[in-house]
Amino acid sequence: MQKQAWGERHWFIPDGYIPETSSGSLTSHESVCVLNTSDRDASLSFTIYFEDREPMEHIAFTVPGRRTKHIRTSLLQKDGAPIPVGVPYAIAVESDIPVVVQYSRLDSTQAENALMSTLAFPVKG
């Protein structure tokens, strides 16, 4: 029996930001956390939107079946160029099969950590 692919295919995260500095024992970072409950691979395509320049499009990532991936945004690259740090941006995730997406940020600009997390916004269709 095939495992069901729960979730949606389109997800949006308006508040992306990679902090410029870290201190203390943990590194500032963001994660786009994707859950693929089906037994097939999910092929993701990221689009990165900015305030004042054209989007970075068609950044590919695969999440294997019945696995989660907590994707560091600092690892996403387009033609070898990463997302710039210290710049407000937004994220769109498209998947070929339904998945569930959550966004979290750890900010260790100060020695003590700050955390935030939210579900991404799902759109049907």
Looking only at residues 56 through 75 of this chain, which bind its own copies when binding is defined by CB under 8 A?
Answer: 66-70
Q: Residues 6 or more apart from 77 whose CB is under 8 A from it?
A: 59
Annotate 24-59 with b (16+ C-beta within 10 A) or e (fewer): eeeebbbbbbbbbbbeeebebebbbbeeeeeebeeb
**Nearest C-alpha neighbor of 85 from the set 107, 69, 103:** 107
Q: Does residue number 117 form part of the binding site for its own copies (CB under 8 A)? A: yes
50 lies in the site for its own copies, by CB under 8 A: yes
Least distance (Å) from its own copies to the CB of residue 81?
A: 18
Q: Judging by beta carbons within 10 Å of its beta carbon (0-12, 13-18, 19+), is residue 22 exposed, middle or buried? A: middle
Complex with its own copies: residue 64 or 77, whichever CB lies closer: 64
45 part of the interface to its own copies, by CB under 8 A: no
Residue 73 phi, psi (nearest 5): -65, -25
Compose the 89-108 pattern: x for residues touching its own copies by CB under 8 A, - for all others: xx-x-------xxx-xxxx-
Which one of 22, 41, 55, 82 is in contact with its own copies (CB under 8 A)?
55
Which residues of this chain interact with its own copies, rule CB under 8 A? 6-7, 10, 12-17, 24-26, 31, 33-35, 37, 47, 49-52, 54-55, 66-70, 88-90, 92, 100-102, 104-107, 109-119, 121-123
